[in-house]
Amino acid sequence: MSENEQAGEKTELPTEKRLRDAREQGNLPRSRELATAAVFAAAVLAMYAMSASMGAGALAWMKAALAPEPAMLKNHDALFGHAGWLLLKLMLAFTPLLLVCLAAGFIAPVVMGGLRFSNKALMPDFKRLSPMSGLKRLYGAEAVAELVKSLLRVAFVGVAAGLCIWHSMDALRGLLHQPLESAISHGLGFTLKLLLATAGAMTLLAAIDAPYQRWNWMRKLKMTREELRRELKESEGSPEVKGRIRQMQMQLSQRRMMEAVPSADVVVVNPTHYAVALKYEGGRMNAPTVVARGVDEVALRIRQVADGNKVAIISAPPLARALYRESQLGKEIPVRLYSAVAQVLSYVYQLRQWRTGPMPAQPAFDVDEFAKGAKP
């Protein structure tokens, strides 16, 4: 046994059953970076596409909020309803953005492993309360990976934002000399550009993290050789049990075959190694049918049963071997052997009718054992 097997090292890829069980338990690959990037990028793109309508809605809301009707200021009861109406109007202005972010929240789970709701994932896991497990999470490989991702996140976002600000520095200085409305418009345009750059940096990080998370998920589900063998035994059955089942099936088949031998018309033998029992009922069968067949010990048992039940036993070695190779149990004999078997049955019928006088001589059953088209 190798050192890997002795140490129980997980070197085998997970089977379909192991993957299916993991999914049913809610254990799926997940990337927080992909989820964050999807929601953030979708929100930025939605703001960029709907900026005009959202700006108009926000402007209308601000006018209604800052310039209420004078009569309403004297009616304190109406102010409460007015505040609720303003809140509802603000929510309606930003509802498309919220819907886009909500839809984007489903992108990451679908891309990584699909949506699956599992009650097992909601059950408390007391292993997480173990101090050793906590230390492993803090100082293990997972913690190192999270640290690297955090550093990459700061680097990517910092570089993207820095480049965006650097290229727009002159435009930002020019805002001081522009009219208020123009400065606000250009300032919002710069903000959208900065958000787009940030979204691009986060998307790049997600493109790195998503494959890593899937690879890490598969790595955790890897199996040892012993686990793989145990699962194969559970799914396909133990080889010992399967062998025992096959043995019992063979014994049952042989018992049924032996029970059919007494009803046979003739048993064609090798004479010692092969035995094929044939039965023919005129008007019910198109051709003689094989009711038993076997070699060596099974052939000897067929002969014993036939002899005990006074079934004719005819020695015809080439025909016996040809019948055994080319026929199937419970099926009619091959067409090419019709003539030879007809000679055998004719001889058997003569023996049945013989009473006195010379016994009918056994003819020479001429058959080409390995004729063209015959099974080897």
pLDDT value of residue 19:
82
Comparing CA positions, the residue from 332, 217, 310, 229 lying closest to residue 262 is 310
Alpha helices in the chain (DSSP H): 3-7, 16-24, 32-49, 51-66, 70-74, 76-104, 107-112, 131-139, 141-167, 169-174, 180-220, 225-236, 239-260, 297-308, 317-326, 338-353
pLDDT value of residue 159:
92
What 8-state DSSP symbol labels residue 188?
Answer: H
Q: Burial, 194: exposed, middle or buried (Cβ in 10 Å; 0-12, 13-18, 19+)?
A: middle
pLDDT value of residue 78:
67
pLDDT value of residue 7:
47
pLDDT value of residue 1:
42
pLDDT along the chain (376 residues), means of 10: 53 81 80 87 84 74 72 66 74 81 83 66 58 63 81 90 88 82 80 88 90 87 82 66 73 82 86 86 84 86 86 85 85 85 84 68 70 54
pLDDT value of residue 5:
45
Whats the size of the chain, residue-wise? 376
pLDDT value of residue 225:
82
pLDDT value of residue 299:
86
pLDDT value of residue 2:
45
pLDDT value of residue 310:
85
Q: Kindly give the pairing relationship between strand 266-269 and strand 312-315.
A: parallel
CA 88 to chain centroid: 48
pTM over 0.85: no
